[in-house]
Amino acid sequence: MKIIVLKFGGTSVGTTDRIKKVAKIIAKYKKKYNVIVLSSAMSGVTNNLINLSKKISKNFSDSEYDVLVSSGEQMSCALISGELINKGFNSRSWMSWQIPINTEGKYKFSRINKINKSKIVSYLKKGGIPIITGFQGINNKNRITTIGRGGTDASAIMFAKFFNAEKCIIYTDVDGVYSTDPNKLKSAQKIKVISYEEMLEMASLGAKVMQPHSIQDARLNRVDIEVKSSFTDNKGTLITKRKNIINNKIITGITNTTSDAKVSLLGVRDKPGIAASIFKPLSENSINVDMVVQNISANGNETDLTFTIKSDDLSKTKKIVLQNKKIKFRDLIFDKNVSKVSIIGVGMVTTPGVTYRMFQSLAKQKINIQVISTSEIKISVLIDKKNVKKAISSLHKEFKLNK
């Protein structure tokens, strides 16, 4: 039984006209495959439901939150199935609890650990096209759970794994993954093939095509993903294993963040464990610390510590640091006008001089680097937000990504 998994995002099912287009895409694949469809809620619906919960309470129940926001997918699945039935196909919508899709973990952030295949396999053998609610499942208490933003991608990837699908295609409003944000640089080029590792770094560092945890699920389960647009017939981007890729580019893509903030503690009394004393309460309050740099004074008694966080966590971070009795410092400085620009590519593993070329390219544009962090396949720098477009353009040209 040849199976293909198709996932449609919120913009792809955002109107009834778009849903009719989606039905045509599904019908095309049905000629060659048994098709399993995962659908997101129509664009804007989930946000509207979240806003309703906020109007009820600032501390709305997490379990009822999941019941509420999962209703959006139920609506879109019924509309897709209804259109397929209208076209003469055997189709029906499936709620997560009807399959069931079993999850574990907290409400709002659960993960799929099992998909019961028997009902869907039986339905596929009868020629049916199941339209399944993405983004959700049920836990061991028989309560509806959700998988977090981007959860329908994760649902599709897990269906591809459990049903050993030949393909998993993510349909969205863009026709693939680009070398950088095409809204910021017109010469951005679509990437034909990209590794899981590169895509994971790009998603984590600002690229919005897919959520990082979905890429990680695909990588762990070795599920190839194709990202395509539901609005065009253009070929998309294949996300796959490194060994499947023949690539002569050192750098695959460039990303930037839009919601980072820099925190600097000046004149911190330097002693063993001081960094842990600063970061422990932040961790306990679910504040993610990213880039970190520490400068020791000449006398060795003081240190300046700088790190980055999400700008939404700025006020909470300030409060936590000021209330922290275990640390002493002279001054506390915040800066929201910063952005992290990153170059990503597996080619840098075996290519010397990449760091020099990046820093030299930025220096030529008189762009000051405030903080640096690296991994095996990426280099990130923190710069003034006003220089982002100039930095991306310079780096894109330096590493010949416009060809």
Considering only CA atoms, which of 167, 164, 166, 188 is closest in space to residue 176?
188
pTM: 0.86
Outline which parts of the chain fall under CATH 3.30.2130.10.
338-398
> 401: how many CB neighbours lie within 10 A of its CB?
25
Cβ–Cβ < 8 Å for 306, 373: no
The SS3 call for residue 372 is strand
**Would you state the pLDDT for residue 295?**
81
**Would you state the pLDDT for residue 300?**
67
Q: Which fold has domain 3-173?
A: Carbamate kinase (3.40.1160)
Q: Which fold has domain 338-398?
A: VC0802-like (3.30.2130)
Query: What is the Cα–Cα distance from 258 to 206, expressed in whole angstroms?
Result: 8
Which residue's entry shows tokens 């010397």? 352
Cβ–Cβ < 8 Å for 379, 328: no
Query: What is the Cα–Cα distance from 369 to 381, expressed in whole angstroms?
Result: 6
Outline which parts of the chain fall under CATH 3.30.70.260.
260-335
Strands 111-115 and 101-104: antiparallel
**Would you state the pLDDT for residue 297?**
65
Phi-psi region of 353 (alpha: psi -120 to 50; beta: other; left: phi over 0): left
* Assigned superfamily of 260-335: ACT domain (3.30.70.260)
One DSSP character per residue, 80-121 reads HHHHHHHTT--EEEE-GGGTTEEEESSTTS-EEEEE--HHHH
Query: What is the Cα–Cα distance from 171 to 277, expressed in whole angstroms?
Result: 45
**Would you state the pLDDT for residue 298?**
61
pLDDT tens for each residue of the chain, 403 residues long = 799 999 999 999 999 999 999 999 999 999 999 999 999 999 999 999 999 999 999 999 999 999 999 999 999 999 999 999 999 999 999 999 999 999 999 999 999 999 999 999 999 999 999 999 999 999 999 999 999 878 999 999 999 999 999 989 999 988 999 999 988 899 999 999 999 999 999 988 877 788 888 899 899 989 999 999 999 989 999 999 887 777 778 999 999 998 999 999 999 987 888 889 999 999 999 899 999 998 876 666 788 999 999 999 999 999 999 999 889 898 999 999 999 999 999 989 888 999 999 999 999 999 999 999 999 899 999 999 999 999 999 999 999 998 7
